[in-house]
Structure 1
Amino acid sequence: MPMDDDTPRTTTANDGGTGAVGAAAQLLVGRTGDRRGVGDVLIDEDELAAADAFDLPGADLSSEEISVQILAAQADEFTCASCFLVRHRSQIAVDRGGRLYCVDCEG
């Protein structure tokens, strides 16, 4: 009998109410001591601990202090008048009235 993939699975009386997925999950939980089951989903404790160590983009870093050493532009560097990046003098493409442009911004 064809079954629609979107319909929820139901348990039958002969499988003990656990279902095939639940029985497989119980077997896996029995074999591995570092996993715990939540419903039919297994959670690996090692992966959970590793995930807590990662900082997500956009996280609140207001309590963090960042120290950066700022150097003045060196003699062999220039600041592009278009993108305002500090580049090596070998990347000067155009000098328009004392305003230097890099090879990426020429045009």
Structure 2
Amino acid sequence: MATDYDAPRVTESDEPDPSLEQLTASRKDTQSPVVDVEDTDTAESFELPGADLSGEEFTVRVIPKQSDEFTCTSCFLVHHRSRLADTAQQLCRDCA
């Protein structure tokens, strides 16, 4: 049987759209004034931009650049000499 896709669709329940008053009334009924907050959500777990981090200590060990490494002039990452693509401009293979 052929289907006419251009014909308007008829549904079993062609109810009119609810009015604005009905929508706002049903919305007020379903909303709860209680905020659902978990115990793990504390203010200490959030870091604010520009916060004072002077009391913090590094947890990463920083190793100086070795003699067989170079710093890419494009991405500023330290790579091994085997990743050097352009000797004159000191570019890594990813940036070249």
TM-score range, shorter chain: 0.5 to 0.7
2-structure distance, mates of 1:90, 1:5: 70
More helix by share: 1
Q: TM-score normalized by structure 1?
A: 0.49
Deviation at 1:57, TM superposition (A): 5.2
Q: How far 1:92 moved relative to its partner? A: 0.8
- What is the percent sequence identity of the aligned residues? 31
Change in Cα spacing, 1:5 to 1:101, as seen in structure 2 (3 Å) is farther
> 2:20 maps to what in 1?
4
Hey, what does 1:93 align to over in structure 2?
A: 85
Change (3 A) 1:41 1:59: farther
Q: Where do residues 1-107 of structure 1 align in structure 2 (5 Å cutoff)? A: 2-4=18-20, 8-9=24-25, 20-21=29-30, 40-44=32-36, 47=38, 49-52=39-42, 53-56=44-47, 58=49, 60-67=51-58, 69-96=61-88, 99-106=89-96
CA RMSD, Structure 1 to Structure 2 (Å): 3.3
SS at match of 2:56: coil
Unaligned runs of 5+ in 2: 1-15
Amino acid at match of 1:58: P
1-structure distance, mates of 2:75, 2:19: 59
Report which of the two has the higher share of strand.
Answer: 1
* TM-score (structure 2 length as normaliser): 0.53
2:62 and 2:41 map into 1 onto residues whose CA distance is 33
